[in-house]
Amino acid sequence: QDGPQRKKRKSEVGEVDKQLDILAIGTAVGSILLYSTVKGELQSKLDGGHDSRVNCVRWHQESCCLYSCSDDKHIVEWNTQTCKVKCKWKGDNSSVTCLCISPDGKMLLSAGRTIKLWDLETKEVYRHFTGHATSVSSLMFTTVKPMNESKPFDGITGLYFLSGAIHDRLLSVWYIRSDRKEKNAVMSFTVTDEPTFVDLTVSEVKEEPVKLAVVCRDGQLHLFEHILNGYCKKPLTSNCTIQIATPGNDGDSTPKPVPILAAAFCTDKQSLLLVYGNTLQPIIEKVSLNTSEPHICLVRDIQKVLSLRTDAALTKVKTPVVNSDTKVLVPGIPGHSTAVKTPALGKEKKKSKRKPGETEESIEERLGALDIDVSKVKTPGGLPQTDSFAVLLVQGLESNDAEILNKVLNTRKENIVKNTVARMPIHAVIPLLHELTKRLQGNPYSASLMVRWLKSVFTLHASYLSTLPDLIPQLGMLYQLMESRVKTLQKLSRLHGRLFILVTQVAASQTVQDVPEVNQTAKLVYEDDSSEEEGSDDEMIGDKDSDENWDEDEEKEEQSDEQDMTVEKEINGDSDLEPENESEEE
């Protein structure tokens, strides 16, 4: 067997010699590759069986039969000679993650979270088992014969099998009964971390114990030895734990742990093959077992064996010191026709010393020597410089320099923000989002500035962010922050509406108070002597209202106040009525 990440398995011992070199490899796209280890090349490809990632591949005892399971919930039986599907059926309601074929080849164990035992002839479920809370990662039979030899053996009843799951520190052992009553595990083995690789020696005789080697994610190897004889309530702990560490001699006095990647029992069942070190260049070593000691630490100097070295990451990033008087040109200026060799020229200038009496060349003369048109280069905003916002922003994020970040992020100009976000490298997008999230939690003034940066990042780098698989956990804090702000927005808008009504009413009342009062006293009052004659003698009124009934003084008054009357009538909206009509109206 190969590593635990991809389920690969060589053909079983009982196969034809011709088929012994074939390695079946399941892929993430749903196809299965058959690789010849002797020829060192791809022999054939099995397509059309699965629509999703292949989780497990198992060879049958027959020479050309292969079983596979996938995330598409189906189990497929392949004919490897014709490269076609022999049979396909639904294995579970969720993805099927692991398979195991019974010793006689007539039954098949499949597991997603629950474990099912299938009859390969009828493709029907023979037994159900409760399984694990998470996806099962390993399934294997621990016995080939039943412990109770008095009853006739049908090939499956009375056998034990082992299962392990991801994020589960218990390996469960299950017993296949003749009835369907018992569905729970009969015993379990406990380990320190999630099991990544499991190997065991199959018990062939009743008194022979099962030896189990479990490699955990923390790099330790646990060895168990137990006779399977029925139900055991307590989880069994390991008889021996094996770890590997460096000696810690050369310069570094503290020994460092070396992770064990895999372990397998040899044919004598007494010695182990250990795989440890680096996954790119692993070391395989045969170790004889001494299980009398509960804990064994093997000291191995892997530095002498491994030639692979990892480069140390840069811890400090120094920002270049740029003099405020100097202007540094950036390549790619319009009108710049020759290739730029500014660093080389700069070094030559530094090395060459000026002779006494010579004057230093001006910048214009130097640009002329570089064949750059000075008039074209002088832009309204000044010369482009290397200490641009994008470069400063990346340096500030890498060195976590608050001064540089404040200088860049506190800018208010929209076009500078957009250009900076567009020019920054993609690897700096996530660190920038983390920095903006921190600053959003500060005072409201800085938050209003950070929102502009957030808007530019999401609009310009949306395609990159959508490709990240772990985007939601990385931006969880930002999501919560935005949700809390949006929730309070509705209440704030309601409060704003009420305050707006109050403020407008107060302003309106003030404007009414400020208007000067208009004098409402009448300029002219007409009094009628007899109200009785008014109703009966309508025709006589016209005669009474002639010019003779008015005194001369009143006429003079009328002439003198004519202008006032016209103004008053215009104010009151009255039209110039005849005197007789006036009396009629009254």
107 occurs within a structural domain: yes
- Rounded Cα–Cα distance for residues 418 and 112 (Å): 49
535 occurs within a structural domain: no
- Rounded Cα–Cα distance for residues 346 and 367 (Å): 13
Q: How confident is the model at residue 200 (pLDDT cuts 50, 70, 90)?
A: very high
Question: In the chain, what percentage of residues exceed pLDDT 90?
Answer: 28
- Rounded Cα–Cα distance for residues 69 and 93 (Å): 13
- Specify which of 84-98, 288-302, 541-555 reaches the highest per-range mean pLDDT: 84-98
460 occurs within a structural domain: yes
SS3 291: coil
Answer yes or no: do 251 and 393 share one domain. Answer: no
578 occurs within a structural domain: no
**Closest Cα to residue 111, out of 86, 123, 124, 94?**
94
pLDDT, tens only, 56-65: 999 998 768 9
pLDDT, tens only, 40-89: 899 999 998 899 999 999 999 876 899 999 999 999 999 998 999 999 99
Answer yes or no: do 394 and 279 share one domain. Answer: no
- Specify which of 73-77, 340-344, 500-504, 530-534 reaches the highest per-range mean pLDDT: 73-77
Identify the residue with better confidence: 70 or 385: 70
Question: What average pLDDT does this structure show over 456-484?
Answer: 84
pLDDT in the model for residue 406: 87
CATH of the domain at 218: 2.130.10.10
Kindly report the number of other CB atoms within 10 A of residue 557's CB atom: 13
Given 240, 264, 299, which residue is the final one in a domain?
A: 299
344 occurs within a structural domain: no
Place of tokens 């109206």: 585
185 occurs within a structural domain: yes
What are the C-alpha distances in Å from 146 to residues 154, 160, 178, 207, 487?
10, 8, 12, 11, 65
End-to-end CA distance of the chain: 120
Q: Indicate if the alpha-carbon torsion angle 245, 248, 253, 259 is positive or negative.
A: negative
Given 486, 507, 537, which residue is the final one in a domain?
A: 486
pLDDT in the model for residue 379: 42
Given 281, 299, 317, which residue is the final one in a domain?
A: 299
Instruction: Sort 375 into a burial class: Cβ within 10 Å, 0-12 / 13-18 / 19+.
Output: exposed
pLDDT in the model for residue 440: 84
Answer yes or no: do 106 and 223 share one domain. Answer: yes
Answer yes or no: do 124 and 247 share one domain. Answer: yes
221 occurs within a structural domain: yes
Residue 216 main-chain phi, psi, to 5 deg: -100, 170
Look at residue 524 and tell me whether its pLDDT is greater than 50.
yes
| Structure tokens that stand for 364 in this block | 């214009």
Answer yes or no: do 172 and 294 share one domain. Answer: yes
pLDDT in the model for residue 384: 43
DSSP string, 184-197: S-SEEEE-SS-EEE
Answer yes or no: do 295 and 395 share one domain. Answer: no
- Name the domain count of the chain: 2
Range of the domain at 417: 389-486
Answer yes or no: do 295 and 401 share one domain. Answer: no
- Rounded Cα–Cα distance for residues 267 and 273 (Å): 11
Q: How confident is the model at residue 569 (pLDDT cuts 50, 70, 90)?
A: low
The residues that bridge with 199 in the sheet, in sequence order, are: 213
- Rounded Cα–Cα distance for residues 386 and 397 (Å): 17
Look at residue 498 and tell me whether its pLDDT is greater than 80.
yes
71 occurs within a structural domain: no
Q: How confident is the model at residue 14 (pLDDT cuts 50, 70, 90)?
A: very low
- Rounded Cα–Cα distance for residues 181 and 127 (Å): 10
Answer yes or no: do 294 and 425 share one domain. Answer: no
Look at residue 35 and tell me whether its pLDDT is greater than 80.
yes
What are the C-alpha distances in Å from 485 to residues 445, 459, 497?
15, 20, 18
What are the C-alpha distances in Å from 211 to residues 201, 226, 243, 392, 527?
5, 7, 18, 60, 131
The helix-helix angle for 389-399 and 429-440 (nearest 10°) equals 80
Quick check: 471 and 465 in contact, CB under 8 A?
Answer: yes
Quick check: 172 and 163 in contact, CB under 8 A?
Answer: yes
pLDDT, tens only, 235-279: 999 999 999 998 877 666 788 889 999 999 998 888 999 999 988
